[in-house]
Amino acid sequence: MADDLLILPQPLQRPTAKPASQSVQGQAGAPGPSFDSLLNQQLQGNGLRFSKHASLRMQSRGIQFNANDLGRLDQAVRQAGAKGCRDSLVLLDSTALVVSIKDHTVITVTDKEQLKGNLFTNIDSAIIA
């Protein structure tokens, strides 16, 4: 009778993705979202992104932008794009930002203390926002 028993192997199934409702912070021992990801989430509304390098510079130098600053920056990037610029230096109050206009990405950020004696290369325009 044992010879009559036929066991068929079950097909392997791919693991399912974690539900979107689970956050990274909810997992034990996992770090929270990075500063870069939080900043980029906030900026998705106006299309600007900050590179990892720019985010680290802002974090290390204590540079923060409010909604008004980000709006002025976005407007400057749009103006540069309309003029056909590719990489621009945007002067925003006491902060200088090098922005890839095509990618809508802030490449680097420099504050007032680092502006003196600094040389900006690989830009084709400058905008005072």
pLDDT higher at 52 or 119: 52
Identify whether 63 is part of a domain. Answer: yes
- Which residues are registered as beta bridge partners of 128? 91
Cβ burial, residue 70 (10 Å; 0-12/13-18/19+): middle
pLDDT tens readout for residues 71-106: 999 999 999 999 999 999 999 998 999 999 999 999
pLDDT at residue 128 greater than cutoff 80 = yes
Identify whether 103 is part of a domain. Answer: yes
DSSP tag of 3: G
Identify whether 101 is part of a domain. Answer: yes
Identify whether 99 is part of a domain. Answer: yes
Q: Beta strands 125-128 and 87-92: pairing type? A: parallel
Identify whether 30 is part of a domain. Answer: no
pLDDT tens readout for residues 25-75: 444 555 666 776 666 655 555 578 999 999 999 999 999 999 899 999 999
Domain count, the chain: 1
Identify whether 47 is part of a domain. Answer: yes
Residue 76 confidence (pLDDT): 94
Identify whether 20 is part of a domain. Answer: no
Q: Which has the closest alpha carbon to 109: 62, 40, 42?
A: 62
Domain hosting 101: range is 35-128
Residue 115 confidence (pLDDT): 82
Identify whether 69 is part of a domain. Answer: yes
Q: What is the pTM of this model?
A: 0.64
State the average pLDDT over residues 3-13. 63
